[in-house]
Structure 1
């Protein structure tokens, strides 16, 4: 089986890139994989944004796999390509408002109307008024408008990582099979960590051997509840000597640290490569992995923490609520959140034996559900079945050889690669209704 694999790849600053690298390594035991990624650097991926004619070759692949997140910087070109040549979609986020906002006001308006119809147009103008300086990328309530209907209408299959996400996707009107496949644990995190590496890493950060370290990892946006963690640590200043290690980029981090009054207890590592990320993760004692409100996402960082035996705090909401109670320490969302976090940190911080019990349960959960070989095998089964059904559908419709007969998907001579993809999507939508994408409902795009 040949797979055209669309995803951001390392060293791009997104967890989906790291996830895709490990998934593809495991999936290569079942299929031949070709990567498609704009501005691929040294990854060897095919840059379809710079060379949109590459999309003409997609009919030669048995399966097309698209990994979608909510960041237009990494997924907007992929979305445009998907509209031209749909396939199986992995939804890492169920709320795709920001991705669609990356299309610009005109594109976002089209997506809004497609999702909600003209009778709700007034809400769009209210949305605009709620955006700082009218910038639709700065809307603060994206969960109100998931904007996933186009993908659910066009995709040949949907893969999500939790039952919560599957229910949300089905409630949004998915027309294709929706499958749940757990996140996979990264192989390096399944191996025992060397005590000397942990000690060296802590020493480099100025951490004493017996000092309690709470870790916050990944892109720490507003939903990651970082101010709540800071407030909880501030409450424990006299009762639990500890510090917070923040790894990754963060919105308004300086402001949040200053407001909490614990600047002396925060260690900042910024964005790091995968090897350093793993070393830092092993150096902490407790992971704070809060998430609210949920965008339908899961957390690869949490899976890696559980894999290497780091007891973790999670919000008792969405996918995190599905995890076994014994494998994580769940925190309620609401007005008492900071107090609950403080109580949990005090409980675990003063009781190493309790931390060890949770750590062992976390390892057991990952071993049962997130082994790379088992996850890759499930992906391969889904893609093979989707390819089989697609072949049957084509034969029934008499569409064998259709790919060769299709008009060029991308007009040649376009000045802008992304503009070429956009124009091709419009042509596919506005022109004669031929081709597999049109049969499911031709999409529109707008990069103004």
Structure 2
């Protein structure tokens, strides 16, 4: 089986890139994989944004796999390519408001109307008024408008990582099969970490042997609840020797730290490569992995923490609420959130035996559900079955030659790569209704 694999790849600053690399490594035991990624650097991926004619050869692949997140920087070109040549979609986020906002006001308006119809047009103008300086990328309530309907309409299959996400996808009107496949654990995290590496890493960070280190990892946006963690640590200043290690980029981090009054209790590592990420993860004592409101996402960082035996705090909401109670420490969302976090940190900080029990339960959960070989095998089964059903569908419709019914070739040298893809989408939308994208949902034409 040959797979055209669309995803951001390392060293791009997104957890989806790291996840995709590990998944592809495991999946390569079942299939030949060709990577597609704009501005691929040294990865060897095919840059379909700079060379959109590459999309005209996708009919030679047995399966097309698209990894979608909510960041337009990494997924906007992929979205346009997907509308031209649909396939199986891995939804890492169910709320895709910000991805669609990356299309500009006109593109967002088209998506809004496709999802909710003209009778709700007034809500779009209210949305605009709620945005700072009218910038639709600054809307603060994206969970109100998932804007995922077009992907669900066009895709030949959907893969999500939790039952919560599957319910959300089905409630949004998915027309294709929806599959739940657990996140996979990264192989390096499944191997025992060297105690000397942990000690060295802590020493480099200036951590005292008796200090409790709470880790916050990944892109720390507003839903990651960093101010709550900082407030909890501030409450424990006189009761527990602890500090917070923040790894990854973060919105308004300086302001949040200053507001909490714990400048001396925060260690900042910024964005790091995968090897350093793993070393820092093993250096902490507790992971704070709060998420609210949920965008329908799961957390690869949490799975890696559980794999290497790091007890973790999670919000008792969405996918995190599905996890076994014994494998994580769940925190309620609401007005008492900071107090609950402080109580949990105090409980676990003063009781190493309790931390060890949770750590062992977390390892057991990952071993049972997240083994790379098992996850990859499930992906291979889904892709093979989807390809088989697609062939049957084409034969029934008398469209055996559908793959060769290509849109007009896009001339090279367009003003912008994304403009070229958009022009191809326009051609597909305006031409005869012979392609999969036309059949299940018209592509966008806005390129702002």
Category of TM-score, reference length = shorter chain: over 0.9
1:235–1:342 contact (8 Å) kept in structure 2: yes
Aligned length: 448
1:80–1:445 contact (8 Å) kept in structure 2: no
Q: CA deviation at 1:396?
A: 1.2
Aligned mates of 1:17, 1:422 — CA distance in 2: 24
2:407–2:427 contact (8 Å) kept in structure 1: no
Instruction: After superposition, give the CA deviation of every residue in 1:59-103 in whole Å (9 maximum; x if it has no partner).
Output: 000000000000000000000000000000000000000000000
Aligned mates of 1:275, 1:102 — CA distance in 2: 31
Give secondary structure in 1 for the equivalent of 2:244.
strand
Q: CA deviation at 1:413?
A: 5.0
**5+ unaligned residues in a row in structure 1: which ranges?**
none
Aligned mates of 2:292, 2:311 — CA distance in 1: 19
2:56–2:406 contact (8 Å) kept in structure 1: no
Aligned mates of 1:331, 1:157 — CA distance in 2: 34
Aligned mates of 2:42, 2:412 — CA distance in 1: 26
Give secondary structure in 1 for the equivalent of 2:239.
coil
Aligned mates of 2:42, 2:106 — CA distance in 1: 34
Aligned mates of 1:230, 1:214 — CA distance in 2: 10
Q: CA deviation at 1:273?
A: 0.2
Q: CA deviation at 1:446?
A: 1.1
Give secondary structure in 2 for the equivalent of 1:146.
coil
Instruction: After superposition, give the CA deviation of every residue in 1:160-216 in whole Å (9 maximum; x if it has no partner).
Output: 000000000000000000000000000000000000000000000001122110000
Give secondary structure in 1 for the equivalent of 2:159.
strand
1:107 is aligned to 107
**5+ unaligned residues in a row in structure 2: which ranges?**
none
Q: CA deviation at 1:414?
A: 2.8
Distance 1:409 1:338, change over 3 A: farther
TM-score normalized by the length of structure 1: 0.99
Aligned mates of 1:416, 1:334 — CA distance in 2: 46
Give secondary structure in 1 for the equivalent of 2:35.
strand
Give secondary structure in 2 for the equivalent of 1:429.
helix
Aligned mates of 1:123, 1:399 — CA distance in 2: 40
1:55–1:409 contact (8 Å) kept in structure 2: no
Aligned mates of 1:80, 1:205 — CA distance in 2: 43
2:302 is aligned to 302
Aligned mates of 2:245, 2:406 — CA distance in 1: 54
Aligned mates of 2:291, 2:445 — CA distance in 1: 31
2:100–2:147 contact (8 Å) kept in structure 1: yes
1:314–1:330 contact (8 Å) kept in structure 2: yes
Distance 1:361 1:446, change over 3 A: same
Mean Cα deviation higher: 416-425 or 55-64: 416-425
2:391 is aligned to 391
Q: CA deviation at 1:435?
A: 1.4
Instruction: After superposition, give the CA deviation of every residue in 1:201-256 in whole Å (9 maximum; x if it has no partner).
Output: 00000011221100000000000000000000000001111000000000000000
1:411–1:424 contact (8 Å) kept in structure 2: no
Q: CA deviation at 1:16?
A: 0.1
Aligned mates of 1:50, 1:407 — CA distance in 2: 17
2:312–2:329 contact (8 Å) kept in structure 1: yes
Aligned mates of 2:354, 2:407 — CA distance in 1: 64
TM-score normalized by the length of structure 2: 0.99
Instruction: After superposition, give the CA deviation of every residue in 1:8-61 in whole Å (9 maximum; x if it has no partner).
Output: 000000000000000000000000000000000000000000000000010000
- In the TM superposition, 1:170-209 aligns within 5 A as 170-209=170-209
